[in-house]
Structures are given as C-alpha cells and as structure tokens.
Amino acid sequence: MECPHLTSSVCIAPDSAKFPNGSPSSWCCSVCRSNKSPWVCLTCSSVHCGRYVNGHAKKHYEDAQIPLTNHKKSEKQDKPQHTVCMDCSSYSTYCYRCDDFVVNDTKLGLVQKVREHLQNLENSAFTADRYRKRKLLENSSLNSKLLKVNGSTTAICATGLRNLGNTCFMNAILQSLSNIEQFCCYFKELPAVELRNGKTAGRRTYHTRSQGDSNVSLVEEFRKTLCALWQGSQTAFSPESLFYVVWKIMPNFRGYQQQDAHEFMRYLLDHLHLELQGGFNGVSRSAMLQENSSLSASNKCCINGASTVVTAIFGGILQNEVNCLICGTESRKFDPFLDLSLDIPSQFRSKRSKNQENGPVCSLRDCLRSFTDLEELDETELYMCHKCKKKQKSTKKFWIQKLPKVLCLHLKRFHWTAYLRNKVDTYVEFPLRGLDMKCYLLEPENSGPESCLYDLAAVVVHHGSGVGSGHYTAYAVHEGRWFHFNDSTVTLTDEETVGKAKAYILFYVEHQAKAGSDKL
C-alpha cells in the first residue's frame, strides 16, 4: 500500500552509525535480546523483535504515541512518530498506523537507501563469516566437530523458516521441496521479477494484503524463498511475502490456525502449475520447460492442459480398472496424479511404535499393496454399468501406468469418526533407499531394472493427536547428510533417527546410483 506517514517517520540517515554491529538478520531485540525476527525503527534505528516473537517492535511504536496525547494536532504532525519499521531479514517495510506493508518511498528515496545499506551490511557479514568457516574447515579436527551427527548440533549453511503463527505446515513442505534438487533448481534459475512500473520503477516488489490478486505471483515468491535457503547467509528466513500471496490466492489458508500439510502441498503445486501454464513476464513457462533437455517430453504428464515442471517431475499416470460383477464388463480409465494417498491397513492401526510386540510392523509395502489390491466396491459405490444400463456391484483395481521422477506418497493418518477427525498414529516402516515400485506397474516388463527404484529425499512428520493441532517438522537429505527442519531450527541428524519417524508425507526421487541397495 501507499503509506502517507513516511515523511514524518523515516528520519534516520541511510548509513547511520547508530545501527548495531554484525549481520542485520541476526541483530538482537534491545528489550528481550532475542535474535528472531528483528525489526529496525526507521525513526530512531532501535531494534526490536516482531509480533510473532515478543512483539517489542509494536510496543515501541505504542509507547512512542503516549507522550503525543498531550500535544496539539499540529505539534503531532511535526514530531517523529516511530510508526515505520523494516524487517532486517526480508527488508520489507511496515507501518503500524496503516497496519500494512509499505511499497512507496519518501521523495528522497530514504527507505530504499536504508534497505540497500542493510543489504550491504548483511553481505559484508556473510563474506566475513564464510571466510571464517573456510578457515575452520581447513582444520580436519575442527571440521569433524562441526559435522558431528547428533540431535543438538546446529547444521552448517542450512537455513530455517520462521513460524509466522501456526505456519509449521507450510515450513515443512517448503523445506522438503527445497531439497528436491531438480524441482528446486528449475525455480532458482528463473529470471527474477522485481521491477514495477510508474512511481516505484526500479524498486523491489513487496506484496501486501491490500494489493489485488493481479499484483501477486506465487511463482516469484516461491522462487525467492527457495533462493534464500541453503545460502548460509542467515540462520532463519521469514517467508512473509510468500505467506501473504498464499492468503491472496488460497482462501482456505487465511488466518493463523493449524492447517493440513498435505492439503497445502496439493494447493501449492496446483497453483504453481496453473501460473506456470499462463506464462510469466511475457515468456511461456511451458516453452521454457520444453527447452530444458533434462525434462524431456517422454517424462511429462499433462494435468489440466500443457505440461510444466510440476507435472514433469511429480506427474504420474494411474490406470483405474473397474469390472462389473454381473456381466463382466471391464472399464478402464487413465488418471494423472501428483501424489498417491495410501491407507494404513486396519490390522495395523493399534500398533503405535516400531518396538511394540503385538504383531508385525506395518511397512510402506503393506500400504502400497492395500492401494493396488483388487477391491470390491460397497453398496454406496455401485458402478454404473453401460451394458447392464444400471448401477451394479463391481470390483476396482489400480495400476501405475507411468511412474513420476519424484514419487510423493501421502499416508492417510487422519480419518473421520462419528463426531471428530482422529489420527492414526501407527508407525509405518519405510526404506531410505531402493524402494522398488516395479510390482505395482501395469507393464513391468517394459521397465529397466533401475528405472523403478527410488531413494528417499524428504519426510514430513506430524507430531500431535489431531489435524487441527500439533506440529509439523521435516527431515531431508542434502549432499549426503540428513537434516531435521523444525521451523527456524535446523540440526544435523542420522539415518537411524529418520527411519524411526512416523511419516506423514514421503518424497522419493529416482534412484541414481549403480551400486546395489536394499529393496522394499
């Protein structure tokens, strides 16, 4: 929005010596000393924490307004009011009087100058920190200590995502997708779209809640978020701009209540796919995809029109086979998919942990077999037989006609009872490498020995008892090391810990290694 309060509130010099030392993204709140979500006041350059930490930035604004109540209106207008502050991580500007993010600037361009100064401070701190880390890594003994795998060692170069208020569902999905290399690299290599026309030409675009739908781009904000991860320039990144775009185009996710991570993932992929189909900045994304030799036409799966990177990587095809039990008529239908939702077989639902002694452990193979086994449809799902001209009892079976490059498996842990939605807390054993999907293919004889093998890339885990509560985290492998992503905290972990997780969503990538591996 265009803020009318900048002239009276932006008073600090762009290169003010009053700024704290060090990297702006790690500056500490002057009240509580927290380095999470630091904001700098553009009136006095004091640093306070954001509203999702302890809210001292807002309190600083409120306290500054109290002395003004004893002055006349004309005196108020002349006195600085501490209403505008800047996020030290994303460099977006916020006005507390307008209660919204700001896209305009002062006549002298002070906001942009402060932004550029903070970016320079951040880059200088990053360069110095990178040099320091390089020197440390040259010492093998120090290196081994830094990379020691345990639950409390902070990961090097990994960036967390700040929780904006029950947004762990979004953070877990974003961290998982950022570790699917081919998918992530495509977005990071897209050209940036950061310029606006008219008064704000040449300045960065900061999306706000007051802008119309035509002014937001999910692809662009998703690209910016992916670029911010794995750079090592900050311990945590605030995905505010992306979250506001989500609010704009996905009404189901407005507000700060807990959401379903799988539902968010599907909405995110679907909207990315639709926006990529529509082209971006005058260049069709589908045309750009066709020029990418690593995503050839044989790997594409079209959903709702032309193929995009979403369908080229996540897209597969199912064959749905239905047989009438009265006349034997067979009906076949091919359905594209981006993920497979698997039931946990009922006989395993009482087994909550891997080490529990009451019977065999449920495996991912059990869930896949339950999905693809022949099933007789019940009375509520009678099949309309075109030969019998009426609804009849029938059987249904799924085959996988085409496997995707990245196989996303969703375990259906939430189900409705008479009055509420309960969680199936059963542990499901899953392989970290060598998942063999050949036996679920429609024509397995046409597949090579390595083409049906998958290795685990990421896991989303739900902690808690219900879909509307609890907490989401993610495990992902990056350059051979496993990391645990818990909002702004990222730690190194090991394969044993990952294997014990009660998975909710599993991301498997095509097996690349030639060496033998354990098969499912």
DSSP state letters, 266-306: HHHHHHHHHHHHT-BTTB-HHHHHHH-TTS-GGG---SSSS
Q: Which comes out higher in pLDDT, residue 212 or 397?
A: 397
Structure tokens at 318: 């199912």
Q: Given the residues 88, 168, 367, 408, select the one marked as catalytic.
A: 168
Q: Is the pLDDT of residue 303 over 80?
A: no
What is the separation, in whole angstroms, between the first and last Cα of the chain? 54
153: DSSP letter: P
Local confidence band at 388 (pLDDT 50, 70, 90 cut-offs): confident
Give DSSP secondary structure letters for 459-493. Answer: EEEEESS-TTSSEEEEEEEETTEEEEEETTEEEEE
Sign of torsion over alpha carbons 252, 253, 259, 261:
positive
Least confident of 269-273, 438-442, 491-495: 438-442
| Angstrom distance (rounded) from CA 225 to CA 45 | 27
Q: Which comes out higher in pLDDT, residue 244 or 279?
A: 244
Strand partners, 352: none
pLDDT at position 336? 92
Q: Is the pLDDT of residue 198 over 50?
A: no
Is 471 one of the annotated active-site residues of the chain? yes
Cβ atoms 362, 345 nearer than 8 A? yes
What is the Cβ-side half-sphere exposure of residue 299, based on CA atoms within 13 angstroms? 18
pLDDT at position 447? 63
Average pLDDT score over residue span 30-46: 88
How high does pLDDT run on average in the chain? 78
pLDDT in tens, 164-196: 888 999 999 999 999 999 999 999 888 876 533
pLDDT in tens, 472-488: 999 999 989 999 999 99
| Angstrom distance (rounded) from CA 431 to CA 454 | 9
How many C-beta atoms lie closer than 10 Å to residue 455's C-beta?
Answer: 17
Cβ atoms 104, 112 nearer than 8 A? no
Structure tokens at 57: 């930035």
**Percentage above 90 pLDDT, the chain:** 31
| CA nearest to 88, candidates 117, 59, 65 | 117
Q: Given the residues 5, 463, 471, 511, select the one marked as catalytic.
A: 471
pLDDT in tens, 331-377: 888 899 999 999 999 888 775 655 555 668 899 999 999 888 888 88
Is 32 one of the annotated active-site residues of the chain? no
Instruction: Give the predicted TM-score (pTM) of the model.
Output: 0.65
Domains of the chain, first to last: 1-66+80-127 (3.30.40.10)
Cβ atoms 380, 359 nearer than 8 A? no
